[in-house]
Structure 1
Amino acid sequence: MGFNGKYSIGILLTFILLAAAMLYSNPLITLITGMGKITADHFFLSRILLWVILIIVFLYSIFVEKGTFLLKEEKKYSAAFYSKAALILYFICILGGAILNTFMMFVIEEKISTKLLNLIPIFRNNYFLIIFTCLTAAIVEELLMRGYLQPRIEKMYNNPAIGIIISAVLFGILHSTYGTISQVLGPFFIGIVFAIFYKRYSNIKILMICHFMIDFIAMMIMNFMDIKHLSVF
């Protein structure tokens, strides 16, 4: 099997595993542990599952593809560049996400995700879970979506734009389990911004930092905000 065939299987494997984790991790954990409802421990185990998926894909890249996990060599930059790039990316994503959310609220009067509302009490003042969840999303999602998928899609089609678009589409689809259009369009927009940055600057660590900032600040705001005001946020 050629590299394109191995890359195709790896891309499909990654997406299927992530989709299955998003859709079926809660029922699976309930079946194994007997926990009837989603608790902090329940959610923590679902994040552990994402790390397991990262390990599986990493092993696939080493033993099946017989190559490196990251096809793009990491470029080194100064500490000042890290700080500036992370902040610029953060504000681009927040501003773009706010515009998209406002547009959706006016066009279809979309309400806040029920799944998100159900998760808020689990995170309330649980700072360990907040930090672990944000770190998991930042590291696992960036390594898989930008580090693994994007360059392989680009190589398969010999087209950087296709790598950027498809990886962003998949990133948006994986967030559809929250049940709202905004929760798909927001990640899709972030996926486009992050993918363009990764193509241009070849540094996954800056994306991890920015991803962590986006999730952590949002979760801390929700932690201290009254639930009834979240629709405005």
Structure 2
Amino acid sequence: MGEYYKMRKELYLPILGIAASELMMYYGRIYAGLGIHIVNLQIITILLIFGSLSPQTKNILQSLLLLLLLRIVSLAMPQMFSSVLLWYLLVYGVMFLPVYLIIKNQQIASEELGINFSRLHIYLPFALLIGTITALIEYRILAPASLIENTGILNIVFIVIVMLVFVGAVEELIFRSILQTRLEEMLGLKYGLLLSAVIFGIMHASYGTITEILLAGIFGIIVGYIFQRTRSLLFIVAIHGTANVLLFGILPVALALK
């Protein structure tokens, strides 16, 4: 029991650091939050290099590095394009490299990541339904501007590619396939799911509304549980992607026409 406690305590400071940074962003202090993330990244790196850690703890710390990198890259990446979708493409495209390196370093098998096509014909209709419900609820909270000018076929294809292949795939690989799986190994299925969902919710603090944090946390629990039961990455990416396509593309345009 003492060894189990020792394995876990090295995670407290990095996770609290993520929460503190996102809290800064919740109150609009972006640079303060970015600074905490950078310091946190350095602390985790030092722990990984010099700390006497169990393999489980190292795997989780490496997984947390992906969260920090995602936030730092998204904040530091200059707005070089007039289209926000192209910016998303660049930010999340960059993240495929560190995700790949972590997967390779931890020797995570494709089955563990959830890369399979089993029962996909059954999962996809449910993914569209869950994603649509999520988008409708979230739209009432955020009411975001559309990332596309109209619902022409090229715009729809473009936002679907960005939100599924890049945003949805990268975030679900990080939060579910890697982080949740590693937390489950240490804490068990229930607490691993809950902690990963809490972190997912916290990472939405930059929207500046507690309702969005709670909704993201609930979404993390639902999608995380689905991943536990199905081990289908494509299922949860389809849910995430559908929600984003509707929330940031189709719903704002469609409702603006009324």
The equivalent residue for 1:55 is 97
1:14 aligns with 2:80: no
Q: Cα offset for 1:69?
A: 6.5
In structure 2, C-alpha distance between the alignment counterparts of 1:83 and 1:203, rounded to whole Å? 11
Report the CA distance shift for 1:61/1:203 in structure 2 as closer, same or farther (over 3 A). Answer: same
The equivalent residue for 1:82 is 123
- Match for 1:6: what amino acid? K
1:45 aligns with 2:87: yes
- Match for 1:224: what amino acid? A
Report the CA distance shift for 1:225/1:93 in structure 2 as closer, same or farther (over 3 A). Answer: closer
1:163 aligns with 2:192: yes
CA deviation profile, 1:1-24 (whole Å, cap 9, x unmatched): 5421321221220121122234x1
Q: Which of 140, 143, 148 pairs up with 2:178?
A: 148
Name the SS of the counterpart of 1:123 in structure 2: coil
Which structure 1 residue ranges, 5 or more long, are not aligned?
Answer: 103-110
- For the 8 Å contact 1:134–1:212, the answer to whether it is kept is yes
CA deviation profile, 1:90-139 (whole Å, cap 9, x unmatched): 466457x46xx87xxxxxxxx746xx34xx3x522244552233222221
Q: Cα offset for 1:174?
A: 2.0
In structure 1, C-alpha distance between the alignment counterparts of 2:171 and 2:229, rounded to whole Å? 19
Name the SS of the counterpart of 1:29 in structure 2: coil
The aligned runs of 1:1-233 (5 Å cut-off) are 2-22=54-74, 24-25=75-76, 28-30=77-79, 33=80, 39-40=82-83, 43-63=85-105, 65-68=106-109, 71=112, 74=115, 77-87=118-128, 89-90=130-131, 93=134, 97=137, 112=142, 116-117=144-145, 120=146, 122-125=147-150, 126-127=155-156, 129-135=158-164, 136-157=166-187, 159-218=188-247, 219-226=249-256
Give percent identity, aligned residues only.
22
TM-score where L is the length of structure 2: 0.65
- Match for 2:61: what amino acid? I
TM-score where L is the length of structure 1: 0.71
* Cα RMSD after superposing both structures: 3.0
- For the 8 Å contact 1:62–1:69, the answer to whether it is kept is no
Name the SS of the counterpart of 2:112 in structure 1: coil
- For the 8 Å contact 1:168–1:195, the answer to whether it is kept is yes
Count of matched residue positions in the alignment of Structure 1 and Structure 2: 200
- For the 8 Å contact 1:10–1:60, the answer to whether it is kept is yes
Name the SS of the counterpart of 1:166 in structure 2: helix
- For the 8 Å contact 2:124–2:238, the answer to whether it is kept is no
